[in-house]
Amino acid sequence: MTRDQEIKYMEEMSLNAWPSYRIEFYDGWLLRYSHNYTYRTNSVEQIGESTIPIGEKIAYCEKIYENWNCPANFKIQPLLDPAFDRILEERGYQVRHSTDVMTLDIPGSRLMVRSGEDYLFDNRLNLPTLVYYGPELTVQLKDFVTDEWLKGLFSLNGTSDPTLRRIVPKMYAAIPKRTIVASIEIDGRMVASGLGIRDRDWVGIYAIYVSPSCWSRGYARAVCSTVLREAWRLGAKRAYLQVASGNRKARRLYESLGFTHFYSYWFRSNQGRTGCDRK
């Protein structure tokens, strides 16, 4: 498989893993909208050939996103003609949220060593209920996204807007692939989260958050290690994740697990709004 084919493969898996609340297809372009929750789900992605002149298409997208009360964000990834990025720049679009895609061969990964596990509840994927990393660190696993996990995620990533708290659960429910849902709790409060999404021979790592009060305790490493190990048991051979280019702390963690940079993408936006500022 060539590099371009792998990027196309990765872009497809990313779309599967993170559905938008609203989608419109337009002449080979995919217009995604989710009330400004993330750039990825509030942007235009090119997934097919175009027949309509580019200027006309951009103007159409701008009008649609204006009606949706969202900036017009265009995802720029390596498979696109570089001239498209220049066209947007000439129209005054600014680069927003540069992201690095990192990949890993799971057999060669450097995972945290678990000390034990317990199977307390049956599930479709035969996941352990609890995975132990010594006496004071336990990762909990489920095979589906629960309301409790989502509430904990909202607390960790600061989602308080009532509209988002209503629609984001529907976005997670729309994920068409098998999921490995991880969390760490202290006194009944979720302090770390993670989500693995299986797609073909891969697993995507998403929603890695740790409460600031629990930083530097190895929680993110334990969550990632647990998801990767269970995904390998279920047949995944490789893993990918997406991390903000400026997030050096997260990159150090992922590199220590064995992830390496594959490619980068960014968004061109026609407005400097702060609503679309999460991964």
Domain assignment present for residue 115? The answer is: yes
Domains of the chain: total: 2
- Residue 278 confidence (pLDDT): 43
CATH code for the domain in which residue 170 is found: 3.40.630.30
Give yes or no: residues 122 and 241 share one domain.
yes
- Residue 273 confidence (pLDDT): 44
Domain closes at, from 48, 81, 99:
99
Domain with 23 in it? 3-99
Element (H, E) at 66: helix 54-67
Residues of the chain with confidence (pLDDT) below 50: 273-279
- Residue 275 confidence (pLDDT): 42
Domain assignment present for residue 117? The answer is: yes
Domain assignment present for residue 164? The answer is: yes
Give yes or no: residues 140 and 238 share one domain.
yes
Please give the torsion angle defined by the CA atoms of residues 241, 204, 38 and 213, in that order, rounded to the nearest 10 degrees.
-70
- Residue 272 confidence (pLDDT): 62
What residues are paired with 46 via a beta bridge?
29
- Report pTM: 0.94
- Residue 175 confidence (pLDDT): 97
Give yes or no: residues 108 and 226 share one domain.
yes
Distance (Å, whole) CA 271 – CA 125: 44
